[in-house]
Amino acid sequence: MINESPWVRPNRPWLKNRPDGIPKTLNFPDVAGFHCILKKSAKDFPNNVLMFFPERNEKYTYYETDYYSKVLSNAFVKEFGIKKGDGIAVMTPNCPEYIFTVYASSQCGAILIPINFLLKNKETKHIVDDSGIVKVFIVFDKLFNTAKRASKEAGVEHIIKVSSDDPNELTLNKLLEKYPPEPPKVNMNIKEDLGALLYTGGTTGLPKGVMLTHLNIMANSLQFVLTGAAGIWQGSLEKTIKQIGTSSSLTCNPLCHGMGFFVLNSILTLASTLIIYARFDPGEVLKMIEKYQLKVWSGVPTMYNFLVNHPDFKTRNLSTLEMSASGAAPLPPKVAKIWKERTGLKVINAYGLTEVTCMCNTAADWEEINPVSISFPIIDTDAKIVDPPDYITELPIGERGELLIRGPQVMKGYWKKPEATADVLVKDENGNIWLRTGDIAYMDENGFLYIAGRSKEMIKYKAYRILPAEVESGLFMNPAVLECAVIGVPDPEEIVGEIVKAFIKLKPEYEEKVSEDDIINWAKENMAAYKYPRIVEFVGLVPKTAVGKLDRKVLRLKEEKRRKQAQTVKPM
């Protein structure tokens, strides 16, 4: 097989099974910006419903969405003087106006800055101050005071509510009624000009702005369509093209998050319908899969865990599902097994991070689906395992090291942070740029990749290096465990370095029947001697990020606070 991609080294093991009907590389047209995804689908499928909000019984077609995005781009220029490179921040729950703003910002050459509506004053202020370019701040009416306080020192000129009870107040909805759909003409360089600035916190520190060009955004959507989505339709490009404009998907992810932003752009590329829920409710998700006969369900491991433990999981008709995918963290094998027994589907583990726009790995139908693996890199994406600080020499098959990624979806860098950028974007012997993911991984002889955990989250016990996900997967095998998260805490005796502590939420039927010691003793019998948790704490809630990913950082900060408080208590 001839490898035609300029991004991928020849003879990669995962290339050998890719069908001839799937392109080996992508050609990107020189278009005006990532809003052209919407523009093309609106031209080809104007009457298709793009977004449907069941809770509000509100829907918009591709034509209507394109129309209002054009109106808003015109309003941004004429009302506020927005020009190329200005920042447009948007802080709303999932709603039509958010989507209008996303594609309006691209049309007027602005840089979109989505801000999670769940963030507090400190984080919101940091994003506004750090970006330093926000000229217009679109905000949900109930979040106006948060936006106002965050913008006080940053010189934000306009804070605009989506709607208001005050008839004299200028709002986004009034702008949509005021201007015609006449977008400005802006000269764009899609390889260099930023389309979005997505802030990501990672495991430590304040959020960093990830600079995504218009090409990054468009490339990643097309990469998914021609690899992941094509897998749904038997690896045939012809079949994939025929399916464009015919499918529908459901999301509960906040669209302001990197994953939600990717889902939105991918849906538009496929001209599909996106059913949008404001929050994740396992009963409602199961109901929607049955009601709308959905072919695809994707979510994070936490969502799968709640789905398989919901009483409706055994009664709802899920037979229309053709693909199930998970991302953001490893899916516990026990959960994957229960899902397969009920639906007949193996769960595909997708992998990515904001620094690669969203996705760099997923399985396709022509591959064997391995529920423990993140499968292979998508089209035009290369991957290698190295032993830092040598980012050139690749490790032998099976050896663990840091995963590096190369492709057109890799970010331009971190906003105003050249040192942090230089630390994660490294060059090989040919001058090619690779992204350090910070994840510990290994590859097998067939090219399947496996994530072992985050290097920064590694627990150092004696001479061992323990990854939290490994311990969590083991704990999920205990029938009493509904959710769990593991971190390392300092050994009070200062002998072994760190010890494993597990935070566990029990299933309701096991509460007050199972003790912490019961869990520790069970783990001691069923897990390696150096891995089992020495401390267990039962919790009512395991902290998660906005997309349902375990937030171990919250647990580490909580433990650190406890230790400091304990040190300040003087003995009697």
Please report, for the domain that includes residue 498, its CATH number.
Answer: 3.30.300.30
Is 262 part of a structural domain of the chain? no
The reported pLDDT for the residue numbered 528 is 79
Most confident of 83-92, 196-205, 218-227, 466-475: 83-92
pLDDT tens digits, one per residue of 529-566: 878 899 999 999 998 876 667 888 888 888 888 877 77
Of the listed ranges 103-112, 228-237, 507-516, the least confidently predicted one is 228-237
Residue 180 within a domain: yes
Q: How confident is the model at residue 467 (pLDDT cuts 50, 70, 90)?
A: confident
Tens digit of each residue's pLDDT (9 = 90 or more) over 355-413: 999 999 987 656 667 777 888 898 899 999 998 778 888 999 999 899 999 999 999 99
Q: Where a domain ends, among 213, 248, 263?
A: 213
Q: Above 60 in pLDDT, residue 423?
A: yes
Taking the C-alpha atoms of residue 436 and residue 385, their distance in angstroms, rounded to an integer, is: 10
pLDDT at residue number 367:
62
The parent domain of residue 521 ranges over 464-568
Contact 38, 69 (CB under 8 A): yes
Give a yes or no: residue 178 inside a domain.
yes
Q: What is the pLDDT of residues 17-75, one digit of tens each?
A: 777 766 778 877 678 899 999 999 999 999 999 999 998 899 999 999 999 999 999 99
As a whole number of angstroms, the distance between CA 213 and CA 523 comes to: 47
Instruction: Give tens-digit pLDDT for 173-195.
Output: 999 999 999 999 999 999 999 99
**Cβ count near 265 (within 10 Å):** 24
Is residue 158 in a domain?
yes
Last residue of a domain, one of 152, 179, 213: 213
Q: Give the pLDDT confidence of 474-498 residue by residue, as tens digits.
A: 898 899 999 999 988 887 766 667 8
Question: Is residue 80 within 8 Å of 158, Cβ to Cβ?
Answer: yes
Report yes or no on 173 lying in a domain.
Answer: yes
Q: Is residue 532 part of a domain?
A: yes
- Asked if the structure places residue 108 within a domain, the reply is yes
For 226, the token pair is 């021609």
d(CA 375, CA 447): 8
- Number of domains observed in the structure of the chain: 2
Give the distance, in angstroms, between the CA of residue 136 and the centroid of all CA atoms in the same chain: 25
Q: Cα(104)–Cα(155) distance, rounded to whole angstroms?
A: 22
Residue 188 backbone class (left: φ over 0; alpha: ψ -120 to 50; beta: rest):
beta
CA atoms within 13 A on the CB side of 525: 7
Token pair 């330093």 is found at 132
Least trusted range by pLDDT, from 112-116, 196-200, 461-465, 476-480: 461-465
Q: What is the CATH number of the domain that holds 118?
A: 3.40.50.980
Question: Which pLDDT belongs to residue 546?
Answer: 64
Q: Is the pLDDT of residue 568 over 80?
A: no
Q: Which of 157, 188, 213 is the last residue of a domain?
A: 213
- Whether residue 498 contacts residue 356, with contact meaning beta carbons closer than 8 Å, is answered with no
- Domain assignment present for residue 141? The answer is yes
Of residues 153, 281, 148, 261, the one with CA closest to residue 198: 261
pLDDT at 333: 82
